[in-house]
Amino acid sequence: DQNHDFSISEDTGVVRVAKNLNYERLSRYSLTVRAEDCALDNPAGDTAELTINILDINDNRPTFLDSPYLARVMENTVPPNGGYVLTVNAYDADTPPLNSQVRYFLKEGDSDLFRINASSGDIALLKPLDREQQSEYTLTLVAMDTGSPPLTGTGIVRVEVKDINDNDPVFELQSYHTTVRENFPAGTHVLRPKATDKDEGLNSKLRFSLLGEYMNRFHIDSATGEITTATSLDREETSVYYLTLMAQDSSITEPRASSVNLTISVSDVNDNVPKFDSSSYNVTVPDRISAGEFVFGAQALDLDEGKNAVVQYSISGRDQHYFDINTKTGVVSTKLELKSNSKSPEDLTYTIVITAIDQGETPLSSKAELTVILRPPE
């Protein structure tokens, strides 16, 4: 008895327990007992072997040695073999069969989703899970032995729901419309749309692209979706671009994508002068034409839009006092009667300069010369 768990009376030989005994530490003792007489010379004696068996009591709780457990299941599916997820095991140090026979129960968790076999500890999934609704479940288990009274232990199981690519990318808006000014340099910011994907990992990592005619005039960052111009735009060439904006996830197996319409309008810059179709005009009018008579209809075309394309007309030159011009229509009419005897016979012409000017912030203008020739009387 190296641990001195027992003591013996020298007089009576009664063996007693000296310390609390633990069945799980040592369940059987083999002791040697020696008895001697009290002779002073050569005392006689003998030995005997004493075997002491320790009886077990239910003093150990079942213990989940691997708690917390971690299990992973795919969303939208029930695992094979009846939805098997994993097996838990609780260890009980007491002696079988009664004190160490363990039964399992689900104490806390979604009992409508998970079930545990009371005898084997097998945990099963009852119905498919949706990771986007809940990505992790925590189950609290109880292990109970069959001792009297029974003892219990608890364990934790974490169930992670793994993603399946079952969600399309979703843009923040159903369609996009934006405006960019013409003549701005390449690299000008146009738009940065936003899209999200409820999946995770590569299934939610989005790549953006553009489709449509003239898409090469724009650049899109495939990672951020930011759209910039790839060249300087000319509104007079193309005033509106109709493109398709696409977002696709990065799933290796089955990528999913969605698209929306993108309309890019090009706003006007006053970069076109009003243009006459000729730099000079000649018209002939009858002699003695009365004041207020139509002489000429001037027209200048401005390819811009809005105020930048609104043209007003004026006249100047040596003979401007003979004529009027409608500032809006460009119609030139006589202001005075024109007659040949008011001028020398050799010079029966009148010359004015017509100016067309737009209404842009920085107005642009052009000029044309009008020569009015009096037809001499027959």
User: What gap in Å lies between CA 299 and CA 39, rounded to an integer?
Assistant: 153
DSSP structural state of residue 338: B
What is residue 346's predicted lDDT score, i.e. its pLDDT? 58
Q: Where are the domains of the chain?
A: 6-53, 63-162, 170-267, 275-374
- Give me the average pLDDT of each 10-residue run along the chain (378 residues): 75 77 74 81 82 73 93 94 95 72 91 94 96 95 88 95 96 97 97 97 97 96 98 96 98 96 97 96 93 96 96 96 97 92 70 97 96 83
| Residues with Cβ within 8 Å of residue 124, at least 6 apart in sequence | 82, 83, 84, 85, 114, 115, 116, 117
Local structure of 342: helix, strand or coil: helix
170-267 topology per CATH: Immunoglobulin-like (2.60.40)
What is residue 4's predicted lDDT score, i.e. its pLDDT? 79
| Residues with Cβ within 8 Å of residue 237, at least 6 apart in sequence | none
Q: What one-character-per-residue DSSP string does 189-228 give? A: EEE---EE-SS-GGGT-EEEEEESTTGGGEEE-TTT--EE
What is residue 342's predicted lDDT score, i.e. its pLDDT? 56
User: What gap in Å lies between CA 135 and CA 199, rounded to an integer?
Assistant: 11
| Distances from the Cα of 305 to the Cα of 126, 193, 359, angstroms | 67, 28, 10
Helix/strand/coil percentages in the chain, nearest 5: 5, 45, 50
The structure's pTM equals 0.72
| Distances from the Cα of 366 to the Cα of 235, 276, 317, angstroms | 21, 8, 15
Give the burial class of 51: count Cβ atoms within 10 A of its Cβ; 0-12 exposed, 13-18 middle, 19 or more buried.
exposed
* One fold for 170-267 and 275-374: yes
Question: Using H for helix, E for strand and C for coil, what is the string for 4-48?
Answer: CCEEECCCCCCEEECCCCCCCCCCEEEEEEEEECCCCCCCCEEEE
Yes or no: is domain 275-374 CATH 3.40.50.720? no
Tokens of 25: 């530490």
User: What gap in Å lies between CA 328 and CA 299, rounded to an integer?
Assistant: 10
Tokens of 363: 């107005």
User: What gap in Å lies between CA 208 and CA 228, rounded to an integer?
Assistant: 13
Give the burial class of 19: count Cβ atoms within 10 A of its Cβ; 0-12 exposed, 13-18 middle, 19 or more buried.
exposed
Tokens of 272: 């076109």
**CATH architecture for residues 63-162:** Sandwich (2.60)
What is residue 184's predicted lDDT score, i.e. its pLDDT? 96
Tokens of 93: 């140090």
Among 124, 120, 89, which residue's Cα sits nearest to residue 110?
124
DSSP structural state of residue 287: T
Instruction: List alpha helices for 237-326, DSSP H.
Output: none
